[in-house]
Amino acid sequence: MSAKQDQQCLIRLENIYKQYEMAGETFNALDGVSVTVNKGDFMAIVGPSGSGKSTLMNVLGCLDRPTSGTYYLDGAEVQKLRDNKLAQIRNYKIGFIFQQYHLLPKLRVIDNVELPLVYRGMSARERRERCREALEKVGLGDKLHHLPSQLSGGQQQRVAIARALAGRPPLLLADEPTGALDSKTSREVIALLKELNEAGNTIVLITHDPSVAAQAKRVVRISDGRLTEERNEAS
């Protein structure tokens, strides 16, 4: 791979395996996955449940280590890093958007959004500024002091997106972001993600919903732990 390509490339998975022991048998959740995601991509990973989708998401999100293979994220090899180092990678490089939003119910919106920055050790003033900015980007600049329970599902997911944006990570990782939302709100959230992608954010989205995947620039399908390219507008 040339240096120019290397600069453009954000994620490079090479021959990733993830094995589980189940009832004495070895089971390949990821069976030799290789994929490259360039900066500015909007890639959807589709597949039925049990296809290895979640495992791939965990590996991509540095929440789990592959059994073998190499994972380059933003130019650094991460598959062998220790827990603390991985925590730091998650903090600086990845913004998570979960299906169940995963907001802390007892914290106000702004306190939820600033959590990644708190673990970065950022000063309170800078945190507030960044959070306000991120919340305005998702259209919730007026809900700073609400509790998550006072917001609708769509609004909560937008808070989660703001939280993912607050750290300005190179990668946004969305795991079924519309899975808990009605179709109208889903469309709004996907529109927001598209908008963010157009503004330069790299997004990897995991979904089983074809209509959601249709909005991505690129779609890969996973089944039985293997990836196949389905559509790539860029190429």
Partner 1 sequence: MKLSQGVKMAWHSVYSQKLRTLLTILGIMIGIASVTVMVAIGNGTAEQVKSQMQGLGTNLLTANVVGRGAVTSITLEDAEKIADIDGVSAYAPVISGSVTVKYGTTTYSASVLATTPSFAEVREYSVAQGRFIKEIDGAFAQKVAVIGSEVAEELGMSNPVGEKITLDGVPYKVVGVLASKGSSTTGSNDNIVIVPIQTARVVLKTDAIRTLYVQAESEKRVDFVQTMLEFHLQTFFRGDEDSYTVFNQADLLKTITEVSTSMSTMLTYVAAISLLVGGIGIMNMMLVSVTERTREIGIRKSLGAKQRDILFQFLVEAAIIGGLGGVIGVLVGAGGSSFAGKWMNSPVAPSVDIMVIAVAFSMGVGVLFGFLPARRASKLDPVEALRH
Residue ranges binding partner 1 (CB under 8 A): 58, 61, 63-64, 83-84, 87-88, 90-92, 96, 98, 102-104, 106-107, 115-116, 118-121, 163, 167
Choose between 86 and 190: whose C-beta lies nearer to partner 1: 86
Choose between 70 and 99: whose C-beta lies nearer to partner 1: 99
Choose between 42 and 96: whose C-beta lies nearer to partner 1: 96
Helix (H) or strand (E) holding 94: strand 94-97
Query: What's the length of the chain?
Result: 235
Choose between 86 and 219: whose C-beta lies nearer to partner 1: 86
**Please, what is the minimum distance in Å from the beta carbon of residue 156 to partner 1?**
13
In terms of DSSP bridges, do strands 202-207 and 42-46 run parallel, antiparallel, or are they unpaired?
Answer: parallel
Choose between 55 and 215: whose C-beta lies nearer to partner 1: 55
Cβ atoms within 10 Å, residue 212:
23
**Please, what is the minimum distance in Å from the beta carbon of residue 96 to partner 1?**
5
- Between CA 30 and CA 67 the distance in angstroms is 9
Cβ–Cβ under 8 Å, residues 223 and 48 = yes
- Between CA 170 and CA 193 the distance in angstroms is 14
- Between CA 37 and CA 34 the distance in angstroms is 10
**Please, what is the minimum distance in Å from the beta carbon of residue 20 to partner 1?**
12
- Which of 158, 157, 160 minimizes the C-alpha distance to 96? 160
Choose between 21 and 142: whose C-beta lies nearer to partner 1: 21
Residue 131 CA from chain centroid, whole number? 19
**Distance set, CA 180 to CA 3, 197, 209 (Å):** 41, 22, 12
State both tokens at 176. Answer: 């079924």
**Please, what is the minimum distance in Å from the beta carbon of residue 47 to partner 1?**
18
SS3 annotation, 119-131? CCCCCHHHHHHHH
**Distance set, CA 17 to CA 9, 158, 221, 224 (Å):** 21, 33, 17, 12
Choose between 120 and 194: whose C-beta lies nearer to partner 1: 120
